[in-house]
């Protein structure tokens, strides 16, 4: 059975979401999870844009196996050289070249003629061909470009060596029937189209990215470009989880094999949400909190009698499991390792010991430990980066009539830093002010701070999330603890650590 390639651009277009900054270690963690899900291609970044992005792409290329790794480049030799230098150590490196093709882009952005664009595209593809045969070419804003010029452009770049041609709906302008017809027309009017794969990259400005992508697949597209949770420029991209589950659930209609491991979706979605700071709306398809929830009595009655009355997907197919996990304070390392193996988590020995200690601390505080509790704890161990500062001690004094005061002690390079105590408008503000004093970083603008209960009950695990602006960049932190003040402090410190790692890499 035929299948469609999944090209994930979370680490490139997804990171272009306003306010999102991923450090290389976060990109690597997401890339590893994408590889575990068995996507076909990971677009790891735009290497020419910054040294940080170059280093992140290179890290992904060198460490993530079993998947193609792509780097974006304009039709410039310097871009192509930099892209190749970043991805050359990947198992199957790809150079992704783009240039705008629509009349509005040619007139106002490029100030070039169609002939000049075509010549630039051909020369760029030929130049990239000295490095690799795995070349993708994108005609930016293709959905607002005339079909005749697109066919001429694609014929020329395929002749020059492009193995994938990408037809983007860059500004989310197309509607499904129109976009499907565009793909069909390109197939009919490009003489050598059989020598290349047809890819599509749809944006969600009108909420039609997934619908347009599926219409393209129906009309012959063999690769679809997506991002986790649909993040990306403006309103984002076609959501990976929606495309994959649409093809999986309606295999009877599309007749295509889904080669991705759908059980990795929930974990991947949560990892990206935590790393980017972009929370999911409750009614988000596939991965939202309400996606498999039922409140109406009629629906509940139907699901109890037969799940498929109101659920077209089984929650387990995306990696969710609502059963209680019988693990507690008397459980040992073996039982916990069995859980990790069952759910396909991989931790090295040092990370496992850290996680085991945190699990035992949680089990001492909670009567019942659920799957959700343990997975929330695991989120803190999913990626490893250089932690400049570590929390050693925290105490908060607050109450009616008292000035909130926090005392914090940190470790740096294994050595204790002198404790500091600061006042604040409230207990959390006092904690943050104290951490600022200890780290010497006080120009921090708190963009977002929230606390969520991971599970139910008075002993619920609390998850703190922080998004902070430092030197014009947004850095995120999160932590899951039963003590929300401790979780808040750990999340804030994580954001600062990411900033310091980012600055060091830069």
445: domain CATH number is 3.30.160.270
Q: Which DSSP helix (H) or strand (E) runs through 407?
A: strand 405-412
Beta strands in 122-246 (DSSP E): 135-140, 164-169, 197-202, 223-226
How many Cβ atoms sit within 10 Å of the Cβ of residue 2? 8
pTM for this predicted structure: 0.84
Is 225:219 a contact under the CB 8 Å cutoff? no
Q: Checking phi first, is residue 413 left (phi over 0); if not, alpha (psi -120 to 50) or beta?
A: left
In the structure encoding, which two tokens stand for residue 50, read together?
């910054």
Q: Which of 334, 365, 384 is at the close of a domain?
A: 384
Instruction: Clarify whether residues 463 and 348 are in a common domain.
Output: no
SS3 track for 108-153: HHHCCCHHHHHHHHHHHHHHHCCCCCCEEEEEECHHHCCHHHHHHH
Asked if residue 55 has pLDDT above 60, the reply is: yes
Return the SS3 of 9: coil
Query: CA-to-CA distance for 459 and 453, rounded, in angstroms?
Result: 10
Mean pLDDT confidence for 372-383 = 67
Averaged pLDDT for residues 300-317: 82
Q: Does residue 380 belong to any structural domain of this protein?
A: yes
Contact (CB, 8 A) for 125 and 137: yes
- CA quadruple 26, 32, 37, 43: dihedral positive or negative? positive
**353 and 401 both lie in a single domain:** no
Contact assessment for residue 47 and residue 85, using Cβ atoms and an 8 Å cutoff: yes
pLDDT tens digits, one per residue of 144-159: 999 999 999 999 999 9
Q: Residue 33: inside a domain, yes or no?
A: yes
For residues 225 and 364, membership in a common domain is answered with no
Calculate the dihedral angle through the C-alpha atoms of 245, 12, 236, 219, rounding to the nearest 10 degrees: -50
Confidence of residue 207 (pLDDT cuts 50, 70, 90): very high
Among the ranges 70-79, 268-277, 426-435, which has the highest mean pLDDT value?
70-79
Is residue 284 in some structural domain? no
Q: Judge if 301 and 325 occupy the same domain.
A: no
**Is there a single domain that holds both residue 302 and residue 251?**
no
pLDDT digits (tens, 9 = 90+) for 350-377: 888 888 888 888 788 766 676 667 776 7
pLDDT over threshold 60, residue 325: no
The confidence score (pLDDT) of residue 323 equals: 44
283, part of any domain: no
288 contacts: CB under 8 Å, gap ≥ 6: 280, 281, 282
pLDDT mean over 91-102 = 98
Whether 33 and 109 share a structural domain: yes
How do 444-453 and 462-470 pair as beta strands? antiparallel
Reply yes or no on whether the pLDDT at 324 is more than 60.
Answer: no
Phi/psi at 283 (nearest 5 deg)? -95, 20
Q: What is the DSSP letter of 325?
A: P
Decide: helix, strand or coil at residue 265. helix
Q: What domain range includes position 411? A: 389-505
Is residue 198 in a domain? yes
CA 429 to chain CA mean position, Å: 30
Query: Any idea what DSSP says for residue 92?
Result: E
pLDDT at 459: 65
Q: Is the pLDDT reported for residue 64 higher than 80?
A: yes
Q: Is the pLDDT of residue 379 over 70?
A: no
Same domain, 218 and 310: no
Most confident of 196-210, 336-350, 429-443: 196-210
Measured between alpha carbons, how far is residue 116 from residues 96, 139, 272, 355 in Å? 20, 14, 40, 57
Q: Which residue has the higher pLDDT, 301 or 262?
A: 262
Distance from C-alpha of 16 to C-alpha of 232, rounded to nearest angstrom? 6
Q: Name the average pLDDT for the chain.
A: 91
Asked whether residue 63 falls in the same domain as residue 13, the answer is yes
Q: Is residue 429 part of a domain?
A: yes
Please indicate, yes or no, if residue 421 is contained in any of the structural domains. yes
Count how many domains the chain has.
4
Tell me, yes or no, whether 340 and 402 share the same domain.
no
Query: Each residue of 294-326: b (16+ CB within 10 Å) or e?
Result: eeeeeeeebeeeeeeeeeebeeeebbbbeeebe
Examine the fold and report which residue of 384, 407, 439 is the final residue of a domain before the chain moves on.
384
Strand pairing category for 420-423 and 135-140: unpaired
Q: What does the pLDDT read at residue 87?
A: 98
Task: Specify if 246 maps to a domain.
Answer: yes
Among 152-161, 295-304, 443-452, name the one with the lowest average pLDDT.
295-304
* Domain co-membership, 456 together with 338: no
At 463-496, the pLDDT tens digits run 898 989 998 888 888 888 888 899 999 999 999 9
**pLDDT 10s digits, 281-293:** 989 999 998 888 7
Contact 491, 464 (CB under 8 A): yes
Contact 407, 434 (CB under 8 A): yes
Q: Would strands 68-74 and 41-45 be described as parallel, antiparallel, or unpaired? A: parallel
Q: Which residue has the higher pLDDT, 359 or 113?
A: 113
Note the pLDDT tens digit of each residue in 224-269.
999 999 999 999 999 999 999 999 999 999 999 999 999 999 999 9
- For residues 365 and 257, state if they share a domain: no
Could you tell me the CATH number of the domain that includes residue 52? 3.20.20.70
* Segment 325-343 mean pLDDT: 75
Distance, in Å, from the CA atom of 195 to the CA atom of 57, rounded to the nearest integer, reads: 28
**With bands split at pLDDT 50, 70 and 90, how would you rate the model's confidence at 389?**
very high
Residue tagged 């708190």 (tokens): 446
> Are 214 and 233 in a shared domain?
yes
Range from 176-190, 346-360, 430-444, 463-477 that averages highest in pLDDT = 176-190
Per-residue pLDDT, averaged over 203-217, amounts to: 98
């Amino acid at each position: 059975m035929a299948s469609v390639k999944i090209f994930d651009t979370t680490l490139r277009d997804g990171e272009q979401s306003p306010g999102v900054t991923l450090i290389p270690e976060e990109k690597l963690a997401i890339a590893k999870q994408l590889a575990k899900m068995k996507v076909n291609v990971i677009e790891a970044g735009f290497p020419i844009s910054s040294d940080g992005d170059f280093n992140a792409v290179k890290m992904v290329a060198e460490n993530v196996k079993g998947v193609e790794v792509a780097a974006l480049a304009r039709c410039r030799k310097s871009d192509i050289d930099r892209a190749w230098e970043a991805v050359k150590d990947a198992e199957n490196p790809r150079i992704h070249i783009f240039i705008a093709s629509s009349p509005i882009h040619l007139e106002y952005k490029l100030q070039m003629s169609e002939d000049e664009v075509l010549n630039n595209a051909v020369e760029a593809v030929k130049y990239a061909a000295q490095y690799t045969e795995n070349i993708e070419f994108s005609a930016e804003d293709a959905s607002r470009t005339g079909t005749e010029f697109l066919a001429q452009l694609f014929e020329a770049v395929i002749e020059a060596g492009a193995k994938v041609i990408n037809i983007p709906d860059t500004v989310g302008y197309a509607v499904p029937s129109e976009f499907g017809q565009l793909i069909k027309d390109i197939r009919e009017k490009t003489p050598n189209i059989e020598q290349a794969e047809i890819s599509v990259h749809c944006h969600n400005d009108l909420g039609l990215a997934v619908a347009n992508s599926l219409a393209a697949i129906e009309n012959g597209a063999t690769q679809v470009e997506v991002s986790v949770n649909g993040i990306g420029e403006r309103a984002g991209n076609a959501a990976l989880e929606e495309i994959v589950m649409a093809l999986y659930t309606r295999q009877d209609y599309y007749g295509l094999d889904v080669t991705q491991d759908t059980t990795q979706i929930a974990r991947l979605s949560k990892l990206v949400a935590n790393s980017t700071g972009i929370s999911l709306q409750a009614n988000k398809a596939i991965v939202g909190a309400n996606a498999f929830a039922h409140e109406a009595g009629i629906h509940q009655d139907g699901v109890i009698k037969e799940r498929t009355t109101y659920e077209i997907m089984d929650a387990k197919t995306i990696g969710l499991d609502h059963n209680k996990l019988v693990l507690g304070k008397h459980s040992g390392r073996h039982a916990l390792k069995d859980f990790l193996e069952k759910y396909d988590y991989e931790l090295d020995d040092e990370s496992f010991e850290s996680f085991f200690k945190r699990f035992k601390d949680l089990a001492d505080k909670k009567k019942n430990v659920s799957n959700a509790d343990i997975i929330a704890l695991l989120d803190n161990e999913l990626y490893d980066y250089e932690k400049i500062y570590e929390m050693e001690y925290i105490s908060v004094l607050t109450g009616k009539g008292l000035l909130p005061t926090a005392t914090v002690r940190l470790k740096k390079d294994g050595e204790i830093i002198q404790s500091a105590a600061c006042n604040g408008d409230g207990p959390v503000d006092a904690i943050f002010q104290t951490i600022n004093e200890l780290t010497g970083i006080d120009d921090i603008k708190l963009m977002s701070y929230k606390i969520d209960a991971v599970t139910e009950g008075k002993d619920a695990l609390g998850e703190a999330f922080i998004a902070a602006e430092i030197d014009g960049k947004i850095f995120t932190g999160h932590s899951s603890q039963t003590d929300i003040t401790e979780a808040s402090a750990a999340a804030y410190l994580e954001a600062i650590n990411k900033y310091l790692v980012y600055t060091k890499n830069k």
